[in-house]
Amino acid sequence: MRSRKRKVQVSKVNHYVIDGRTATDHFPGIGRYVVNLSQALSQISPDRSISLLHAASASSTRLSLPALPRIECSVSPFSIRQQWIVPGKLRRAQATLYHSPYYLMPYVPGIPAVLTCYDLIPLIYPQYFSLLKRLVYWVAHTLAFKTARMILTISQTTKDDLIYYFHLDPKRIIVTPLAADPHFQPQSHDRIAALRQKFALPEQYILYFGSNKPHKNLLYLVKAFAQFRIQNPKSKTRLVIAGHWDERYPDAKKLTHESGLKDQIIFIGPVEESDLPALYSGATLFVFPSLYEGFGLPVVEAMACGVPVVCSNTSSLPEIAGDAALLVDPFDVNTLAVTMGRALTEEGLRRKMREKGLEQAERFSWERTGRETLEVYLGVTNR
């Protein structure tokens, strides 16, 4: 009598691939997300198979990917060639899940996909974008949302926007907040002094850090600072505007010169990552009057460095800042000016804001984000 052979079931080993092609200087925000998320995943789950899709030619001067296995892929996210090249790479790597941090992705990856969405600014503020750009943006997002089994967002605000603009099922959207990097913490007197000397900064300054895109509302910040100077003529406090400067939007600099404030407002441009904690820590006050943010990471970074924060009461900022910041209407120049003056003159208020800010910043961590993202991976691949 023949013996019947028993089938042996081999458990499937999941292989998660995170698209790291955006970890370049061209994508500073998305790149930082990729670096920190992949680093967190490698630390909380070292026994799992996680690889990075990587373009060796697209190096970064500010970002460094963790030591995870690499799948080399030189094709750009902007190239149509990725639609067949990336799926081939994933197939040969025997990947079981593909995580794209950008909406320009392969729309038939051949395996379950997860997508991260940060904001929908071109749809919420269409006046800042051409009709063609908005159309491409809409079509690409629609394809990406059809491709992804699950979508990660960085705030409840972005989740609500996705549901409103694209009518997505809320169950497909999981909020996984960002966090300040560990090196954002109060800096020593010596490091702050060295930073002041490097950029020729005064002892007291209000800081804004971010881009100068229209929705960042720098024009209103300059107007509010001019109003603050009128209300506080003896104040020695200056306004420092730092971050990437796009020459397409010169209005803030133009108004600064027209208002006779060129000695009161200092534009220092891009700042190296290693200098940012000292730049934040040296500020008397951090002001962020943005009209819309998917998360508003500079607010958390400033709080982590022990700096009192004034920010807008719009989009995700109340959600992120909680009761640790003074919230203002970004279109109300006078109220913004008065609030800045109040924060600068009331030491007790600043001390309370510093304490609350440090506590609020601790509520966000990349470990938490990594664990919540891993839960999504496990759910998509049925653990």
Q: Per-residue pLDDT tens for 18-57?
A: 999 998 877 878 888 999 999 999 999 877 899 999 887 7
Please, what is the Cα angle at 141 between 76 and 209, to 5 degrees?
75
User: What's the confidence (pLDDT) of residue 12?
Assistant: 65
Least Cα distance to 306 among 188, 186, 182 occurs for 186
User: What's the confidence (pLDDT) of residue 2?
Assistant: 47
Mean pLDDT is highest, among 38-52, 53-67, 194-208, for 194-208
User: What's the confidence (pLDDT) of residue 5?
Assistant: 47
CATH 3.40.50.2000 applies to domain 189-362: yes
User: What's the confidence (pLDDT) of residue 32?
Assistant: 87
HSE (side-chain half, CA atoms, 13 Å) at 115: 25
* 3-state class (DSSP) for residue 172: helix
User: What's the confidence (pLDDT) of residue 11?
Assistant: 45
User: What's the confidence (pLDDT) of residue 383?
Assistant: 61
pLDDT in tens, 357-377: 999 999 999 999 999 999 999
Q: What percent of the chain has pLDDT over 90?
A: 85
User: What's the confidence (pLDDT) of residue 362?
Assistant: 96
pLDDT in tens, 87-140: 999 999 999 999 999 999 999 999 999 999 999 999 999 999 999 999 999 999
Partner residues linked to 240 by β-bridges: 207, 266
Which band of pLDDT confidence, cut at 50, 70 and 90, is reported for residue 333? very high
Decide if pLDDT at 8 tops 50. no
User: What's the confidence (pLDDT) of residue 58?
Assistant: 64
Secondary-structure percent of the chain, ordered helix, strand, coil, rounded to 5: 45, 15, 40
Q: Among 4-13, 220-229, 279-288, name the one with the lowest average pLDDT.
A: 4-13
Decide if pLDDT at 9 tops 50. no
| Max CA distance (Å), the chain | 104
User: What's the confidence (pLDDT) of residue 6?
Assistant: 47
> Which CATH code for domain 15-179+366-380?
3.40.50.2000
Residue written as token pair 């003159």: 345
Which band of pLDDT confidence, cut at 50, 70 and 90, is reported for residue 66? confident
309-312/150-153 β-pairing: unpaired
pTM of the shown model: 0.90
- Phi, psi angles (nearest 5°) of residue 382: 55, 35
Q: If you average pLDDT over every residue of the chain, what do you get? A: 92
Residues of each domain in the chain carrying CATH 3.40.50.2000: 15-179+366-380, 189-362
For CA atoms 208, 212, 217, 219, give the dihedral sign: positive
